[in-house]
Amino acid sequence: MKRLKIGSAAGIGIYLHWTFWLLIVGIFAFYLYQGSTVTAAVIGVGLVLAIFVCVVLHELGHALTARRYDVPTRDITIYPIGGVARLQRIPEEPLKEFWIAVAGPAVNVVIAGILGALILATGDTLMPRAFIGSEEMTSGGSIWATLMWINVALVGFNLLPAFPMDGGRVLRALLATQMDYARATQLAANVGQGMAVLFGLLGLIIFNPILIFIAVFVFFGARQESQQAMMRSLTRGVPVRQAMLTRFAKLHPDDTLDDAIEELLAGSDQDFPVVEDGHIIGVLTRKQMMQALSEQGRDARIGDIVEEGNCAVVEDTTMLREAFERVQSAACNTLPVVRQGELVGLLTLENVGELMMISSALRQAGNQRAVRKVLDAHGNGSETPTGESADGGAARLPAS
Ligand SMILES: [Zn+2]
């Protein structure tokens, strides 16, 4: 995704997605196309930019409230349809999530309040000036009133109780004070999808493409949110041992690139652990392989190509969620899993995803016992060396 950094606030980088420029150019072209003057087009584009300043402030509202709860924000990206503040994690305490979600729309309430007060103080009209339309339509009213009403609309839109809108999070947080987090997410997501269907129907009846677009956006946003929450609740208390790949190809430092290519073509693995006497030296990725092939030829020694310790290593008793965060932030897509220094498995995002699919399919069948059986059976090929009961986690799967 191509995006441009336009600055930073409170140490958080703010980015513009490339499609945002299309929007600006599109609006400018539209104004000129409908015969407006260049001045009118500049004012139109200026209004769009002002709206997006309000959106950035809205996102900063989320980010700075999250910071108060020690949740850092990776960055803020502005898309044509709105902004996204990527929080490092979502706090599990419902009340914290509630305040973080509410803080965004609260910023727009404040902006609308200030604009309203300024307009009244200067004796201007609260009538908005039309954004797009004929010359007389876009000449009456006040452009500041337009901005004020747009902020009011942003509050209303964001507080719709549907994921991925803030209102969906507020609803989930409120439900989660009464029930299990995963169940609260499921319910909130169902409400969101129900609303999306209503929007979609309404959009079809009155033939409003924007409404249909919002409906599709909300529908898939709700589904994604509930899947992520499911993933979080399923990985809670599950050790890496239960989700790791146990059948995989290994390479020896004395192997040649030719051997590696053979392994690459023979199976579906893309990254190969390089092992000597049971100890992991590093991971040879497909990308490294291709680069080395063009630079050093097929006789090159694997030991000379792979950087020692290039991938972080996890213990098999590490909790899946912790390892998961490491996979996402590490340079490697594959984490070697060790027990007492010896390589026993590999952890890949795909494999974790497969485990989740199996679990959620079984959960939908209402078979809690089977979920546990799959998780246990997969981990049972090996005993827990430390003696601590890592299996206890599987029993903590949320009841649905
Ligand atoms: Zn928001």
Using DSSP's 3-state secondary structure scheme, residue 176 falls into helix
Distance 108 CA to ligand 1 centre (A): 10
Taking the centre of ligand 1 as the mean of its atom positions, its distance from the CA of residue 353, in whole angstroms, is: 28
pLDDT in tens, 248-300: 888 888 888 888 888 888 877 788 888 888 788 888 888 888 888 888 888 88
Distance from the CA of 133 to the center of ligand 1, in angstroms?
30
- Looking at residue 4, its pLDDT comes to 78
- Which residues, in sequence order, are CB contacts of 242 under 8 Å at separation 6+? 320, 355, 375, 376, 378, 379, 390, 394
Look at phi and psi of residue 46 and say left if phi exceeds 0, alpha if psi is from -120 to 50, else beta.
alpha
Q: Is the pLDDT of residue 132 over 80?
A: no
Q: What is the pLDDT of residues 17-38, one digit of tens each?
A: 887 788 888 877 877 777 777 7
Q: What is the pLDDT of residue 383?
A: 34
Using one digit for the tens of pLDDT, what is the confidence trace for 232-241?
A: 666 666 778 8
Choose the weakest-confidence range: 126-135, 188-197, 379-388: 379-388
C-alpha of residue 64 to centroid of ligand 1, in Å: 12
Question: What is the share, in percent, of the chain residues with pLDDT greater than 70?
Answer: 82
Q: Say what the pLDDT of residue 367 is.
A: 57
Tell me what pLDDT residue 399 has: 30
Low-confidence winner among 83-87, 181-185, 356-360 (lowest mean pLDDT): 356-360
Q: What protein residues have CB closer than 5 angstroms to ion ligand 1?
A: 104, 166
Element (H, E) at 153: helix 143-158
Give the Cα separation of 168 and 225 in Å (integer): 10
Q: How far is the CA of 26 from the centre of ligand 1 (A)?
A: 25
Per-residue model confidence (pLDDT) at position 284: 86
Pick the residue with more confidence: 51 or 322?
A: 51
What is residue 131's predicted lDDT score, i.e. its pLDDT?
63
Q: Which of 147-156, 306-315, 382-391 has the highest mean pLDDT?
A: 147-156
Portion of the chain with pLDDT greater than 90, in percent:
8
Instruction: State the distance from the centre of ligand 1 to the C-alpha of 58, rounded, in angstroms.
Output: 6
Handedness of CA 241, 312, 230, 176 (dihedral sign): positive
How far, in Å, from the CA of 192 to the mean position of ligand 1?
16
Distance 112 CA to ligand 1 centre (A): 16
Give the residue, 186 or 133, on which the prediction is more confident. Answer: 186
Calculate how far, in angstroms, residue 223's C-alpha sits from the geometric centre of ligand 1. 18
Q: What pLDDT does residue 327 have? A: 66
What does the alpha-carbon distance between residue 248 and residue 174 come to, in Å, rounded to a whole number? 45
- Please tell me the distance between residue 102's alpha carbon and the centre of ligand 1 in angstroms: 8
Compute the distance from residue 379 Cα to the ligand 1 centre, in Å: 40
Q: Which pLDDT band holds residue 245 (cuts at 50, 70, 90)?
A: confident
Q: Is the per-residue pLDDT at 381 higher than 50?
A: no
CA of 199 relative to ligand 1 center, distance in Å:
20
CA of 200 to the centre of ligand 1 (A): 22
pLDDT computed for residue 114 by the predictor: 93
Check residue 385 and give its pLDDT. Answer: 32
The least confident of 183-187, 275-279, 294-298, 331-335 is 331-335
- Å from CA of 86 to ligand 1 middle: 11
Segment 180-185 shows an average pLDDT of 79
| Distance from C-alpha of 239 to C-alpha of 388, rounded to nearest angstrom | 11
Kindly give the distance from the C-alpha atom of residue 289 to the centroid of ligand 1, in angstroms, as a whole number: 43
Task: Note the pLDDT of residue 390.
Answer: 29
Distance 60 CA to ligand 1 centre (A): 9
Compute the mean pLDDT over every residue in the chain, rounded to the nearest whole number: 78
CA of 100 to the centre of ligand 1 (A): 9
The two tokens of residue 18 are: 């490339």
The pLDDT tens digits of the residues spanning 94-128 come to: 888 899 999 999 999 999 999 999 988 887 777 77
Q: What is the per-residue pLDDT for 363?
A: 63
Task: Please state the rounded mean pLDDT for residues 322-326.
Answer: 71
pLDDT at 91 over 80: no
Strand partners, 86: 75
The predicted structure's pLDDT at residue 376? 61
Span of 239-253, 327-341, 364-378 with lowest mean pLDDT? 364-378
Of 5-9, 158-162, 309-313, the one with minimum mean pLDDT is 309-313
**CA gap 194, 135 in Å, rounded:** 40
